[in-house]
Structure 1
Amino acid sequence: MSHLELENLQVMEMDAGTVFSGQPSGRMIQGFAAPCAYTPDPDPDYQFHETMREIIVWFMQQADPLYVFGPTGSGKTSLIRQLAAKLNYPVLDVTGHARLEFTDLVGHLSLEEGRMTFQYGPLALALKFGGLFLLNELDLLDPATLSGLNGILDGDPLCIPENSGEVIKPHPLFRFVATANTNGGSDETGLYQGTLRQNLAFMDRFWLCEVDYPAKEAELRLLARTASLLPEAVRETMVEFAGEVRRLFRGFGDTQTPLGESIEVTFSTRTLLRWADLTLRFQPLAHQGVQPVSYALDRALGFRATRETRSMLHELAQRMFPSADAPTGAQNQDVS
């Protein structure tokens, strides 16, 4: 992709209150005048997590890099991307894996039209032109590989020997965000296989932010907009069901008492929306004796679980949902 759009980005000051809440606050925040190809598309149905407040404060001035951690499916990456979209920020992202090397972030030499040219990586592009570098699943990376980032995290220029020793000074609007399931101190729960304990000196460079699953009220509002044909009672039970599955995933019962073991799947908000959507799509099956809620549950989540967990999910659904002849508000069709 051409870097011309990044080179032509125009910095713009905006009222933070107007951008994020629609109410002027008098507090200014810098972003870009227009989106580019790297800017995430805004999602009109997105429900912002209350953690957005501290991330907005982080955005407002050049600061330490940000480390966002929390359980899988809690919306860490989507929160960062949607906040960036509000400010027209380019987001250049990489997902961590065991074989990721520093050159994957900075760039490498490649043959182009018969000559060797340097191809900038996402980190170098964000540093050079301004933008948000997003490193997902950081705790899957080898701490030795990450040590190459220490200077960048401290605000030092990036030197690229492979590109004739080019030195890139950080753009004023360069921001560095990492996401992970753990806080960098290894996984004590056994839920996240492959995560690694990170170097203490490396982690000390970050501003930490924990993101949990959205509040019940936020998910209810979201379902009311996206699945309004489902009765309110069904939507409420779906959110409660998702909450119970999340507790079981973390090894807790409905009273937050540790169970000593956990299930291997959980509900993200995305999965919850998919379940509601599929329940509506499969409602005609109720006339054939098939329960749409359970049928949709398998296709949204259950098929990813072990046979034992899938059976437990269905038993839980049978307890929590009304009988199979509960009608929808709009179409008088079965939903359970």
Structure 2
Amino acid sequence: MKRIPKNRLNQAYWDARDTITDDWIKEQIENDKYFADKLQKIYDEALKLMQDDIYREYSKLSSNLPLAQQKVSQADIEELEKYAEKVVPKKDFSDEANKRMRLYNATMRINRLEMLKSQLGYELVNAGLKVDDQLKDHLNDEYQAEIKRQAGIFGATVAPKSLLTNKHVASVVMAGVNGVDFSKRLWTDQDLLKAKLDSILIQVATTGKSNQELARKLVGLVSDAVKKKRYVTERIVRTETARVQAQAQKDMLDEYGFKYCKWHAEPSACRVCRNIAQDDPDGNGFGVYSIDDVPSIPIHANCRCAISAYWVDNKNSRRK
């Protein structure tokens, strides 16, 4: 257990800590926007590829027969298999990606409608792998950065090595919320988007309009669906980032033996989070809780609240 410097056991220090934490929360909200821009690039790229797939597929049709009645040639199958290997190299497959690729490889042989479904599915798997990898790296970096930031606040020149091992950091990153890790949430939402796109394809492909009209309509509907998916992913990123940073804060409080912490509500906090910050459960001050009793962050999706160490005068504020 690290030693708390005596010159920091005064109210002025903790008041300054409040300001530091509140400013840090605002910085994190801005950082969330930066990562959201990275997500937008991934989804914009996937959307462009899907739009190209749609126009290319409809341009191949020799008649206005419904897409579901158009046969798939062996050449088409081989072409798409090569494309799939190029878009999503096998070395990059996760178990989640593998499961979906096997399904798309099997169903694309049925007819051209199923082939187009598979094409869009490949683009989604590719985007999903990129998001999964980037978010994993992001959460890893954010946990370690917060451990080091807290160490600096406590006056340490080096962060505790035990909290920065690959094994420990990975356990925090993959812990998830309510027993579901971020990767599982991403792929579950990906499946919902794929089901939505399949439904759109079936609905549009059976309307009896010209191929050109159908392609234009499909592109618009697919674009709307992908944008909604991006918003869902951004929410997961914000929520998971807050979770690993809060865990880093709690880990450092444990490391330095603090018994109490203070809850800091984000600027646009909801009623629940504001009430937590304004509550005084043990008569130690507004938003002051024992480490064991402080509500877990995130309280809800998009929660950006935080905790910081706190010293309660005239009480034993250190863990034994």
TM range (shorter): under 0.3
Give the structure with the larger strand fraction: 1
**Greater relative contact order (Cα 8 A, min sep 6): structure 1 or 2?**
2
Q: Please identify the structure whose Cα radius of gyration is greater.
A: 2
